[in-house]
Structure 1
Amino acid sequence: MTIDISQFFQVFFDEAEELLAEMERLLLAVDIGAPDAEDLNAVFRTAHSVKGGASTFGLNDMTEVTHILESLLDRIRKGEMPLTAEHVDAFLQAKDILKMQLDGHRNGAAVDQDAVANVRMMLQELSQDDLGGTPLVAAAAAPVASFALGGTATSAVAEGARRFRIELPKVEQREVNALAAEVGLLGRVSVAPLAGGCSAIIVTTHESLDDIIAICSFVLDPDDLKIFEAPALTPEQRAIEDAARAKVERDQGYGFFDADDAPAAGPELSDDERGYGFFQPIDQIRAAATANRAAKAVQATAEGLETDAAAEKKLVVKKDDKAVAHGAESSSIRVSIEKVDQLINLIGELVITQAMIEQRSDSLDPMVHERLLNSVSQLTRNTRDLQEAVMSIRMMPMDFVFSRFPRMVRDLAGKLGKKVDFITNGAATELDKGLIERIVDPLTHLVRNSIDHGIEMPEVRRAAGKTDTGRLFLSAAHQGGNIMIEVADDGGGLNRERILAKAAENGIAVSDAMTDSEVWQLIFAPGFSTAEAVTDVSGRGVGMDVVKRNIAAMGGSVDIRSARGFGTTISISLPLTLAILDGMSIRCGEEVYILPLGFVVESLQPAPDDIKEIAGRGRVIKVRGEYLPLIPLYQMFEIAPRFTNPCEGIVVILESEGRKAALFVDDLVGQQQVVVKNLESNYRKVTGISGATILGDGGVSLILDVSALIRSSRQLADDIIFS
């Protein structure tokens, strides 16, 4: 019988990735001059846990790297050798190698074996430094006693393995089992009872005595153990032991296998091919998982469902950060993203159904149907509470993003010869998972630019009366229904004259009368860069325009504040979620559209004197002394409107990316919360439309892309601009 353990592989992959991220965080925070003992122990535990899981699933390449890493960490945490910056660099490189190997096993990604060999060699060389040291524990110096299962022992070590006998004090059986399971990661283990209720563990392994003692220290105090090295078994004794063990396993079925499921005799297979006698080989698991994902994707496409590109990832639903840290089993649960998305979709349908009921009940006589209307009102409140509760499941802390940057800041600052303190604030602030994954790349561009262009070299800072070490701030906070993310530095600030000169050189219309905020926005022009030289860090003018475009696609905006000599702050405003939004319903002809409320400034009915015609450029409207381009919605979508004169209809003032425009529509219908449906995945991309929703009457309404409308306002004439 073969067990499909693909689900266990996935759990290991997820946990190993979290452990490696935790290892990196601890290494970046460690004080090299005076390292905290608990921090060193925590780093050691992460390496040990990864090694144990990798060994269990037969991922020997990861086991070999973590074994060397674990041994070196063990010597450092016990004070046998001092921690140096070289050690931290080596540990971080080892973490990168383990992550690469993990991705190789999980996704079939390529693994650079030369890089693996280089890191292993580096760790081994560091392990060989300062070999003089004190014994690990007194037990290691205990006299070696003869111990064998029977017969006369010889000094030969079969296949290079060594046998150790670990005598335990009187402890509960669960602790004996726990220690046997831990030691079992190193080799073959058996437990024997001793007099007085004590037990002994016999382990056959290729690992060293130090490794055994290090693992035992996780469960029991090493001073309470007696460890002896036993002579190796002769070939005859090994054959007898293997036969006895095989018979027990066949008879008992390991406690959960059928006795007749023992593997049939056949050609000798490797451990990976054999699956250890009952595990399905990892190659077969990968192939089955790939085929399963492909089948699900085809089925999802056929049904018109939204396919999440990150469907293999898991979401940890956290109740309290401290509780998670100290009691993960009781305070969190791993839930597949597919299940969360399905739940959110069902809640969206419930919101739509509730809106339909509420709309139909509006026509009822409140005196005759008072009880029914009260029930509808209660349903509305409960639906809103349920919707908010379910949406909170999809929210993730910004620490998911922030934790990626300390390593990048450290490496980039070292590469550029700069000193940078990286400070974060508001890591617990929550944002929708879909937005968190999309904000990583824009923030990466901004952080790299702050280090490369913002923060000066140490000698320049000293000349300006600053400290050698620059400061880079990354913060997040809620503001109303949005989240505000800021990247700030205390560097030299933006150079107004250089930006204007570069813009003029690129053919951008500029003038000295432009305000600072208008000048700063020029850096978002495609291909714009004031770098004096192109490097592998920056200088090609690729990035800032992409940053603004990506943030605008998420319904957000970017603002820049800068003071020469004091630094630069870049602020990003994003909606908390893209799944549900507050919208204004507008009518044009027979169609009803939704305007995201966050872009709406005001609505008005203009006077005839406020409308001006510009030859070949369409019309503008004067609002409080400011002329705004007038966008007739009916021209964009070839709609037969009720009104063609703005003075008879309604004009809605919109603002996005620092620019304003006036949208001419027939009428305002109302304000409501709508569930956003992805139009592109269910139909196709439509210019000027960001999504769709279902109204209370069951009809479909399109959600307007305000940023696209305003960007197109300069091109507007009497011709249709969208086709």
Structure 2
Amino acid sequence: MTIDISQFYQVFFDEAEELLAEKERLLLAVDIASPDPEHLNAVFRTAHSIKGGASTFGLNDMCEVTHVLESLLDRIRKGEMALTAAHVDAFLAAKDILKMQLDGHRIGTAVDQDLVANVRMVLHDLAEGIMPAAPSVAPSFLHAEPKAQAHAEEGAHRYKIELPHLEPRDINALVDELGLLGRVQVTPLEGGRSALIITTHESLDDLIAICSFVLDPEDLKIFEAPALTPEQRAIEALERARIENQQGYGFFDPLDETPAAQQAQSDDERGYGFFQPIEQIRAAAGIAPATPAAPNAAALTEAPTPDARAARKDDKAQAASAAHAAHSESSSIRVSVEKVDQLINLIGELVITQAMIEQRSSTLDPMAHERLLGSISQLTRNTRELQEAVMSIRMMPMDFVFSRFPRMVRDLAGKLGKKVDFITHGAATELDKGLIERIVDPLTHLVRNSIDHGIEMPAARVAAGKTEAGRLFLSAGHQGGNIVIEVADDGGGLNREKILAKAKQNGLQVHENMTDAEVWQLIFAPGFSTADTVTDVSGRGVGMDVVKRNIAAMGGSVDIRSAKGFGTTISISLPLTLAILDGMSIRCGDEIYILPLGFVVESLQPARDDIKDISGRGRVIKVRGEYLPLIPLHQLFDIEPRFTDPVDAIVVILETEGRKAALFVDELVGQQQVVVKNLEANYRKVAGISGATILGDGGVALILDVAALLRSSRQLADDAVVL
């Protein structure tokens, strides 16, 4: 029976991605001075699992890197070699290489073969006890653009090198050296001689040069062998995987089976060392023997243990065990994002339909239609619960973002000669997947800025009475209907005078009476930078304006707090999701608008004495001793209102980006959850509008962009109103 393993490629890609992330996390947490043996074993297991899976699918380039990596890790975990910082750097570099190769197989991105060869050479030298004179591998986020290279197995040459009579140790030494240039196989020849078959991108002269260290080149016979077909490469990879599994990878005892027993056992029963025997899967699933069964996806990267092999004799026990394993695997399932998005869209339509039914049933007589109205009420509750359950599928913990930064902080601090302790809080806080992906780049820029500009050099910190190592905090938490993410450091803080001087130089309108909060907002101006020198890390004035623009596009805001000598905190406030929001329906003239509830503080009907006219600056309203700008919505959108006097209408107090304003509308309609539809994708961008939704009566209501409305109010561009 032939098993089609191509259906499991995506499973391997996802698991390899998780294993690489786990490997990086373990390496960043390892205590170099006295590493925990279990910690080292866990790192080894990640490399072992990736190698096993890559072998199964014929991804030989990944196998070659993990093979050298395993050899070095094995020596360290066995105590044959002491762990050093150079080892950790090399392991992290190998992780980057494996990620690059994984992306090459998954999405077809280019793989820099020179960088791959460099890392393999470093790992090989370290395994031989040769310490590199200087770091030879750049941190992952400082890599240059990779060269456009073909797949490791495509476009490569295959050479057959017939060797004279050599000692086994000489052949092994030659295989190790040639293995740095490609993949090497040893095949026997007549007369006790051996031949090497090497698949490589290197030239024939390079191969001969390496062989000359062991023997006379004139004693070699070299032929160019035909390239393997994809099918032959897959078969070859499976065979290597089977052999390595029999050897146990250092975890398991070799299979103790006689040749006769091996011959009697079919390939299906052996499962190539990676799959559970087919007959056991059939028995567990209650499938007739003639029916083909798919291999156990959870066993792709793990070889069977000795206990499992011994238990093959007990069919009933194996069936029960397989059934239990299948039950355990059912606790989670991988679903594509497209399917989740489609489900969310359908739920959104269901919410709209439910709102239509609820609105049209509101005119019915409650006594005559009691049972119908009760059913509609139950439908409303069920729809709300279903909507919340489906929305939770898209929610992901912030740890998905936070886990990217320990490596970056370590590498960047080392590059700048600084010491930084990275502290996270609230990693379990959940945010919509769409926002998670879009917040990574802004947070990356803020973290880099904190390390480069915020945290001082160790000597300067000690001179200022601080600890030698600076502290960088990354936290997340819920606040109302939003999530607040903060990037804080205990560095030197922002320099007010320097920012003002640079702003004047750039032609920005500033004055000495500006509040600190207003001065800090100047750093978000395009092209603004106070760095004395431009480096490859920062200083070009490109980034902070993009950060604010991207966050504003997500319906969020940015706030800065800083104290000179004590540090800086940058707070980002974002809605939990962009798909559905709680809104307040308001009416202005004949139009219905939606205000996101997260921006609404309160609503009131003002008294005439609370409204003041300011010459040349419009009107303000007094609310609890504070004068707020009054924004007539009908003037912004050129609508014929029902009321022109605020005393006869309603005023809604809004707050965003640390500012408050009063929105003058005709009346409040109600509060409801609305499904957000992208207006720009379906029509065009409209100033002051962030989206649209469909109401219960089938009409379309526009969702107001509160931040844009407040910025458009000319009173907010001036100082606070004092009467």
TM-score (norm 1): 0.72
Amino acid at match of 2:655: E
Q: Is the 8 A contact 1:52 1:185 kept in 2?
A: no
Return closer, same or farther for 1:159/1:519 CA change in 2, 3 Å cut-off.
closer
Amino acid at match of 2:470: G
Deviation at 1:160?
6.8
Q: Is the 8 A contact 1:630 1:662 kept in 2?
A: yes
Amino acid at match of 1:566: F
Tell me the equivalent position of 1:422.
422
Amino acid at match of 2:613: K
Tell me the equivalent position of 2:53.
53
Residues in 2 aligned to 1:81 and 1:503: alpha-carbon distance in whole angstroms: 56
Q: Is the 8 A contact 1:650 1:667 kept in 2?
A: yes
Residues in 2 aligned to 1:226 and 1:255: alpha-carbon distance in whole angstroms: 21
Is 1:623 matched up with 2:622?
yes
Residues in 2 aligned to 1:479 and 1:466: alpha-carbon distance in whole angstroms: 32
Moved more, 475-484 or 33-42: 475-484
For residues 610-652 of structure 1, what are the alpha-carbon distances to aligned partners after superposition, in whole Å with 9 as ceiling and x for unaligned?
Answer: 253654x6x2323346554444433444433334444444333
Amino acid at match of 2:367: M
Tell me the equivalent position of 1:96.
96
Return closer, same or farther for 1:64/1:184 CA change in 2, 3 Å cut-off.
closer
Q: Is the 8 A contact 2:55 2:240 kept in 1?
A: no
Superposed, 1:185-224 pairs within 5 Å as 187=240, 189=242, 203=243, 213=247, 215=249, 217-220=250-253
Tell me the equivalent position of 1:172.
none
Question: Counterpart of 2:713 in 1: which secondary structure?
Answer: helix
Deviation at 1:73?
1.1
Is 1:565 matched up with 2:549?
no
Return closer, same or farther for 1:417/1:255 CA change in 2, 3 Å cut-off.
closer
Residues in 2 aligned to 1:341 and 1:30: alpha-carbon distance in whole angstroms: 39
Q: Is the 8 A contact 1:44 1:73 kept in 2?
A: yes
Question: Counterpart of 1:663 in 2: which secondary structure?
Answer: strand
Question: Counterpart of 1:335 in 2: which secondary structure?
Answer: coil
Deviation at 1:604?
3.8
Q: Unaligned 5+ residue runs, structure 1? A: 132-151, 162-182, 190-202, 231-240, 257-326, 718-723
Tell me the equivalent position of 2:455.
455
For residues 96-133 of structure 1, what are the alpha-carbon distances to aligned partners after superposition, in whole Å with 9 as ceiling and x for unaligned?
Answer: 111111111222212111111111111111122179xx
Return closer, same or farther for 1:419/1:346 CA change in 2, 3 Å cut-off.
same
Deviation at 1:5?
5.7
Residues in 2 aligned to 1:541 and 1:188: alpha-carbon distance in whole angstroms: 52
Residues in 2 aligned to 1:590 and 1:66: alpha-carbon distance in whole angstroms: 68
Moved more, 554-563 or 576-585: 554-563
Q: Is the 8 A contact 1:474 1:487 kept in 2?
A: yes
Q: Is the 8 A contact 1:606 1:646 kept in 2?
A: yes
Is 1:520 matched up with 2:573?
no
Question: Counterpart of 2:422 in 1: which secondary structure?
Answer: strand
Tell me the equivalent position of 1:25.
25
Amino acid at match of 1:709: L
TM-score (norm 2): 0.72
For residues 460-506 of structure 1, what are the alpha-carbon distances to aligned partners after superposition, in whole Å with 9 as ceiling and x for unaligned?
Answer: 01111212111111111222322221111111122222223223333
Tell me the equivalent position of 2:692.
692
Residues in 2 aligned to 1:716 and 1:83: alpha-carbon distance in whole angstroms: 59
Q: Is the 8 A contact 1:557 1:572 kept in 2?
A: yes
Residues in 2 aligned to 1:36 and 1:398: alpha-carbon distance in whole angstroms: 28
Q: Is the 8 A contact 2:57 2:238 kept in 1?
A: no
Question: Counterpart of 1:703 in 2: which secondary structure?
Answer: strand
Residues in 2 aligned to 1:368 and 1:699: alpha-carbon distance in whole angstroms: 29
Residues in 2 aligned to 1:255 and 1:552: alpha-carbon distance in whole angstroms: 55
Tell me the equivalent position of 1:293.
none
Residues in 2 aligned to 1:348 and 1:70: alpha-carbon distance in whole angstroms: 50
Work out the percentage of aligned pairs sharing the same amino acid.
79
Question: Counterpart of 1:621 in 2: which secondary structure?
Answer: strand
Question: Counterpart of 1:331 in 2: which secondary structure?
Answer: coil
Q: Is the 8 A contact 2:26 2:39 kept in 1?
A: yes
Amino acid at match of 2:573: S
Residues in 2 aligned to 1:420 and 1:699: alpha-carbon distance in whole angstroms: 55
CA-based RMSD of the aligned residues comes to 3.4
Deviation at 1:606?
4.6
For residues 561-617 of structure 1, what are the alpha-carbon distances to aligned partners after superposition, in whole Å with 9 as ceiling and x for unaligned?
Answer: 2222222222222221111111111112222111111112333445566253654x6
Moved more, 448-457 or 10-19: 10-19
Moved more, 68-77 or 491-500: 491-500
Residues in 2 aligned to 1:434 and 1:513: alpha-carbon distance in whole angstroms: 41
Tell me the equivalent position of 1:396.
396
For residues 385-444 of structure 1, what are the alpha-carbon distances to aligned partners after superposition, in whole Å with 9 as ceiling and x for unaligned?
Answer: 221111111110111000000010001000100001111111111111111111111111
Is 1:664 matched up with 2:664?
yes
Amino acid at match of 2:531: A
Tell me the equivalent position of 2:335.
335
Residues in 1 aligned to 2:541 and 2:7: alpha-carbon distance in whole angstroms: 45
Question: Counterpart of 2:334 in 1: which secondary structure?
Answer: strand
State the number of aligned residues: 563
Superposed, 1:476-515 pairs within 5 Å as 476-515=476-515
Deviation at 1:449?
1.0
Question: Counterpart of 1:334 in 2: which secondary structure?
Answer: coil
Question: Counterpart of 1:343 in 2: which secondary structure?
Answer: helix
Residues in 2 aligned to 1:81 and 1:543: alpha-carbon distance in whole angstroms: 44
Tell me the equivalent position of 1:115.
115
Task: Name segments (4+ residues, structure 1) moved above 6 Å.
Answer: 1-4, 225-228
Return closer, same or farther for 1:353/1:188 CA change in 2, 3 Å cut-off.
closer
Tell me the equivalent position of 1:612.
613
For residues 207-246 of structure 1, what are the alpha-carbon distances to aligned partners after superposition, in whole Å with 9 as ceiling and x for unaligned?
Answer: 7xxx96551x4344x7xx7799x9xxxxxxxxxx9xx999
Amino acid at match of 1:90: A
Q: Unaligned 5+ residue runs, structure 2? A: 132-188, 199-235, 272-276, 280-326, 718-723
For residues 41-85 of structure 1, what are the alpha-carbon distances to aligned partners after superposition, in whole Å with 9 as ceiling and x for unaligned?
Answer: 111111122222222222222121111111111111111111111
Superposed, 1:351-390 pairs within 5 Å as 351-390=351-390
Amino acid at match of 2:622: V
Is 1:603 matched up with 2:636?
no
Deviation at 1:89?
0.6
Amino acid at match of 1:640: E
Deviation at 1:452?
0.8
Tell me the equivalent position of 2:633.
633
Tell me the equivalent position of 2:13.
13
Residues in 2 aligned to 1:557 and 1:108: alpha-carbon distance in whole angstroms: 37
Return closer, same or farther for 1:245/1:666 CA change in 2, 3 Å cut-off.
closer
Superposed, 1:274-353 pairs within 5 Å as 329-353=329-353
Residues in 2 aligned to 1:75 and 1:356: alpha-carbon distance in whole angstroms: 69
Question: Counterpart of 2:95 in 1: which secondary structure?
Answer: helix
Q: Is the 8 A contact 2:72 2:123 kept in 1?
A: yes
Deviation at 1:529?
1.9
Tell me the equivalent position of 1:62.
62
Residues in 2 aligned to 1:465 and 1:64: alpha-carbon distance in whole angstroms: 50
Residues in 1 aligned to 2:37 and 2:61: alpha-carbon distance in whole angstroms: 29
